[in-house]
Amino acid sequence: MSARRGVTILGSTGSIGCNTVDLVERRPDLYRVEALVANSRVDILAEQARKLEAKLAVVADESAYPALKEALAGTGIEAAAGARAVVEAAERPADWVMAAIVGAAGLAPTLAAVRRGAVVGLANKECLVCAGQLMMAEVQKHKSTLLPVDSEHSAIFQVFEFDQHDRIEKIILTASGGPFRAKDRDFMKDVTPEQAVAHPNWSMGAKISVDSASMFNKGLELIEAHHLFDMPEDKIDIVVHPQSVIHSLVAYVDGSVLAQLGSPDMRTPIAYALGWPNRIEAPAPRLDLATIATLTFEAPDPVRFPSLRLAREALRAGGSAAAVLNAANEVAVAAFLDRRIGFLDIAAVVERTVEGVNHCELTSIDDVLAKDGEARRFASSILGRTS
């Protein structure tokens, strides 16, 4: 019998997905691939499926199905398409699932993996932002294990003494500050999508790159950290650290502050989650502190980055507020990437949507999806009317 760990990768063609494929491919002795899921990039998906000898490859976009079928002809690899097939892929018996679909679109398949008690590497932070409480309850109920892949949360996880929870004074998330850290609002008003996705330290998908530029990414991560580590909003600090070497910190009541460091390369936190509870090798550049020489820190600017205030307010409000914030941000980022609104309009759309959509409690995933839909419709209706 094979002792290899069965792996499914949701969002395998994206930035996190490709890095995960890279790590899995290096260790055929440890991993076998059950399913790979992507939105529509058939060329990359089919190549990954062949290379890793996956059992199943799925595209969410049904119009891409004929091309996928053709690309996999004669391989014995099953092909499927559509939103239902994405969830079914997550339901297949893999021990470990990488949740790396971008946005709330990843919620249903991630939940499907959680509900069968899988070990889930969670990159898809939007899941926890829009349905954190419900998701954590499902994790507990089905004895699933959620391993953070976000570099900050991986760092915290690695130094967080869970049995000393009440001895933790605060957790400190580091933020690179993004490409506009040192720019003024006048400059930010007119930036293009190309400028916004050009991150100084990390190479990532378009949506999270824009989120990093607006610092909504750090706002989403604040909410993510709250759910993962059961820490109240006022015990989560954010500090800007432009070198992205210290990935986050945990401060204890005795004055000790523990941190995890490394080069800004997502293969390290992905490898941590993939190998857990063991450590596996990752080909990330090694940290050379003498060459880096200087690590700097500064407080985030609440005026240029209202995203942090909006995320804190949503977290304090509870209920549907974070789901609405997330949905509005997804709509606004897509409109910005499409050049339909300016960069500073993103936060304006989010703020107006959070104010305009009725607040409620979320008692089921259907509630989350309904609020998500309502917030998307509201945000779409005010695009271009924010200034």
Nearer Cβ to Mg ion, position 150 or 351?
150
Structure tokens given for 93 = 């018996």
Under rule CB under 5 A, how many of the chain's residues touch Mg ion?
3
Structure tokens given for 264 = 């800004």
The whole-angstrom separation of Cα 232 and Cα 144 is 23
Type and span of the H or E element at 26: helix 15-26
Which residue's structure tokens are 């992507």?
38
Is it true that the peptide bond before 277 is cis, omega within 30 degrees of 0? yes
Q: Which does 104 bind (CB under 5 to 8 A by kind): Mg ion, ligand NAD, none?
A: none
Residue numbers 278-317 binding Mg ion by CB under 5 A:
none
Helices 321-337 & 307-317, crossing angle to 10 degrees?
A: 150
As measured in angstroms, the least distance from the Cβ of 176 to ligand NAD is: 11
Q: Which does 38 bind (CB under 5 to 8 A by kind): ligand NAD, Mg ion, none?
A: ligand NAD
As measured in angstroms, the least distance from the Cβ of 192 to Mg ion is: 23
202 part of the interface to ligand NAD, by CB under 6 A: yes
Q: Which of 7, 33, 35, 37 binds ligand NAD (CB under 6 A)?
A: 37
208 part of the interface to ligand NAD, by CB under 6 A: yes
150 part of the interface to Mg ion, by CB under 5 A: yes
Q: What is the DSSP letter of 361?
A: -
Structure tokens given for 118 = 């899988």
Q: Which of 23, 38, 341, 347 binds ligand NAD (CB under 6 A)?
A: 38
Does 126 appear as a known binding residue?
yes
150 part of the interface to ligand NAD, by CB under 6 A: yes
102 part of the interface to ligand NAD, by CB under 6 A: yes
Which residue's structure tokens are 């960069």?
343
Which residues partner with 239 through β-bridges? 174
Structure tokens given for 382 = 């005010």
Helix, coil or strand: residue 368: helix
Would you tell me which residues interact with ligand NAD (CB under 6 A)?
A: 11-17, 37-39, 41, 60, 86, 100-102, 105, 123-126, 150, 202, 204-205, 207-208, 266
